Amino acid sequence: MTLKKLYFLIPILALTLFLLLQSCEEKSKKEYLKQDNTADIKRLINLGDNFLKKSIYDSSYYYFNKAKLSCNPKTDISKIIYSLSNLATIQQRQGDYSGSEATAIEAFPFLENTKNPNYKWNIYTILGTNYLYTSDHENAIYYYNKALNLKTDKLRKAGIKNNIAIAYVDMHNYKKAYQILFPLILKKEVLNDAETYSRIIDNLGYCSYKIGDLKGLSYLNQSLKIRKQKNDDWGMIGSYTHLSEFYKKMNPYLAKNYALATYEKATKLNSVDDRLYSLELLIQNSTENKSKKYSLLYLKINDSINKVRLKAKNQFAKIKYDSKKEKDENLKLKAQKILREEQQYNRNLYLYLGVLIIILTSIFITNFLMDKNKREKIKSSYNTEIRIAKKIHDELANDVFQTMSFAETQNLSTSRNKEILLTNLDTIYSRIRNISKENSTIESGALFVSHLKEMMSSFNNNNVNVLINGIDTINWITIESNTKITIYRVLQELLVNMKKHSQSSLVVISFKKNEGKLQIDYSDNGVGATFEKLAFKTGLQNMENRIHSIKGTILIETKSNKGFKVNCQFPM
């Protein structure tokens, strides 16, 4: 791959890494946004439902309130409304009607964002009942009518009409209530639901009794019978209360018994308001002594219920405050967590940018070195070509010219001239072969040692004696090919320089292993040279470059007329 192509890839790599970082950030954000507590909210609501069924109102209130605070106002609307409706119901049952009203109204903003009419039905019904208990009949009927106008099932509508009728009963408008209730008992959906039917005919029986209709007692008894069959304790309280009022004038004894039955059921269900009302009936239908007893009990319960309701109201307020405080603390912890995550993200970003810079720098340096190496190779090839050309010119051109002249001017038919010509041609051939060997591919495998010996021995002649020591003691298999080629070229360069410049008669080359490295010592008895002269020797510079390229070392020792020594060490 060319440098130009690599530079082209750098911005692509940078862009890829940047997009990767962006995707990681988006993924992190999405994962954070996806983090919800749906399962935990469901668990809290289930706990609230279970405690509500057992009439353990403080625990039920705690879990519903915690569920509400855990909800996301944008995605958990139904769960918020459900929690608020149950919180308002608990407050209503505990007599905290103003608190129940405030809680129900809190659901209004969420009702605007839901299409399920049953959620609105629950809230409107709770508000209507609160106003009914506080004798605010106008508002009670208003909210009951709002619930009635919703697109809910017929049974729910029948239940709302029954509540509206109760409001009119409370206003002593029994005739209006009767007109609302009587058509309901003819409805199929009412007849098929025993609980709703028993509730409506109980109220219808009470209205009939109040307006002088003789069927009133029949309706009341029919309702009580159904409620007993269904074990409807709450319903039986209503039936006993109405029957007690019905018999108050015509049969005080029976009226008292029904009032006692009301008191027992109300006590069992911890319905304080029903207990108080049953005591009112007992006071009215008892002798003076019994009446006094029930009056004292009434005062005691009434005083107690006021304290209990005040305590419950304060308890609910405290639960709300503690839950809000806990939520605020959780939000603070979440904010701190988000801050830490952002700081961690920034640290990661800086780390990624640092890695990117390192990668880009590495690519740049690598390509710079590759380009430099390429230039050096080109330069080395160029120098080799120049050296070969110079050798051919200096060592061969003159011999070839003289041989050609000899052939042209001499009589080659004589044996002597033929011998001279052949000798000259053989000399030229030998020099060409030596030049070829100096620049040919070097064998670095099993034949390396023999080729190395042959190369060094080729410099032996009548004037120069080359001695080789310790070459066979080295385990050449463990030495890398590049190192072998470098050793070959370095020794070749030293011997060529020796032949050209040193006027040596003796050369000694020693091989030995020294502290895990291969040490080669070269020495000759030639004329030597000063370092100033050596600095201009291209061959020696090339030799040093070769050695340093494989992390080897070279030490040159020479003086004029003192010989030439070189110490080289190579990694093994």
Structure tokens at 173: 């408008």
DSSP annotation of 505 reads: S
Whether 176 is in a domain gets the answer yes
Q: Is the pLDDT of residue 47 over 70?
A: yes
Its sign, for the CA torsion 519, 524, 525, 530, is: negative
Q: Is the pLDDT of residue 542 over 80?
A: no
- Per-residue pLDDT averaged across 523-541, rounded? 70
What's the CA gap between 129 and 135, in Å, rounded? 10
- Per-residue pLDDT averaged across 82-99, rounded? 89
Q: Is the pLDDT of residue 481 over 60?
A: yes
DSSP string, 31-76: HHHH---HHHHHHHHHHHHHHHHTT-HHHHHHHHHHHHHHS-TTT-
Whether 217 is in a domain gets the answer yes
What's the CA gap between 509 and 307, in Å, rounded? 116
Q: Is the pLDDT of residue 397 over 80?
A: no
Whether 7 is in a domain gets the answer no
Whether 324 is in a domain gets the answer no
Cα angle value 126/129/131 (rounded, 5°)? 110
Task: Sheet containing 517-524: give its strands across.
Answer: 465-469, 506-514, 517-524, 564-571, 553-558
- Work out the pLDDT band at 34, boundaries 50, 70, 90: very low
Q: Is the pLDDT of residue 241 over 50?
A: yes
- Work out the pLDDT band at 308, boundaries 50, 70, 90: low
Whether 284 is in a domain gets the answer no
Q: What is the CATH classification number for the domain harbouring 450?
A: 3.30.565.10
Q: Please write the tens of the pLDDT for every residue from 482-521.
A: 899 899 989 988 888 888 888 899 999 999 998 889 999 9
What's the CA gap between 563 and 557, in Å, rounded? 9
Range list of H helices, 392-480:
398-409, 415-439, 448-457
Amino acid in position 217: L
- Work out the pLDDT band at 227, boundaries 50, 70, 90: very high
Q: Which of these three, 221, 248, 275, is where a domain ends?
A: 248
The more confident residue out of 413 and 486 is 486
Structural domain boundaries enclosing 203: 35-248
Nearest to 44 by CA among 52, 35, 32: 52
Can you give the pLDDT at residue 376? Answer: 66
Those residues with Cβ within 8 angstroms of residue 516's Cβ, 6 or more apart along the chain or in another chain = 572
- Work out the pLDDT band at 201, boundaries 50, 70, 90: very high
Q: Is the pLDDT of residue 417 over 80?
A: no
Q: Is the pLDDT of residue 457 over 80?
A: yes
Mean pLDDT of the chain: 82
Q: Please write the tens of the pLDDT for every residue from 349-376.
A: 778 888 888 888 888 888 788 877 777 6
Whether 562 is in a domain gets the answer yes
Can you give the pLDDT at residue 295? Answer: 80
Place of tokens 């405030």: 102
Whether 10 is in a domain gets the answer no
Structure tokens at 518: 């291969």
Of 30-39, 161-170, 280-289, 543-552, the range with the lowest mean pLDDT is 30-39
The pTM (predicted TM-score) of the whole model is 0.51
Structure tokens at 3: 């440098």
Can you give the pLDDT at residue 32? Answer: 45
Can you give the pLDDT at residue 439? Answer: 59
Can you give the pLDDT at residue 279? Answer: 82
Q: Which of these three, 214, 248, 282, is where a domain ends?
A: 248
- Per-residue pLDDT averaged across 391-414, rounded? 72
| Backbone torsions φ then ψ of 166, nearest 5 degrees | -60, -40
Structure tokens at 428: 């030229």
Can you give the pLDDT at residue 353? Answer: 81
Structure tokens at 98: 């103003």
Q: How many domains does the chain have?
A: 2
DSSP annotation of 555 reads: E
Amino acid in position 139: N
Q: Which of these three, 248, 270, 301, is where a domain ends?
A: 248
Nearest to 487 by CA among 391, 566, 558: 566
Those residues with Cβ within 8 angstroms of residue 546's Cβ, 6 or more apart along the chain or in another chain = 486, 489, 490
What's the CA gap between 264 and 262, in Å, rounded? 6
| Contacts of 184-189 spanning 24+ positions with Cβ under 8 A | 184/158, 187/154, 187/158, 189/153, 189/154, 189/155, 189/158
HSE toward the beta carbon, residue 340, CA cutoff 13 A: 6
Q: Are 518 and 570 in contact (CB under 8 A)?
A: yes
Q: How far is CA 454 from the centre of its chain?
A: 69
Whether 108 is in a domain gets the answer yes
Those residues with Cβ within 8 angstroms of residue 501's Cβ, 6 or more apart along the chain or in another chain = 526, 527, 529
Can you give the pLDDT at residue 384? Answer: 60
Nearest to 128 by CA among 169, 97, 154: 97
What's the CA gap between 308 and 130, in Å, rounded? 18
Those residues with Cβ within 8 angstroms of residue 418's Cβ, 6 or more apart along the chain or in another chain = 412
3-state secondary structure 363-381: HHHHHHHHHHHHHHHHHHH
- 570 in helix, strand or coil? strand
What's the CA gap between 571 and 569, in Å, rounded? 7
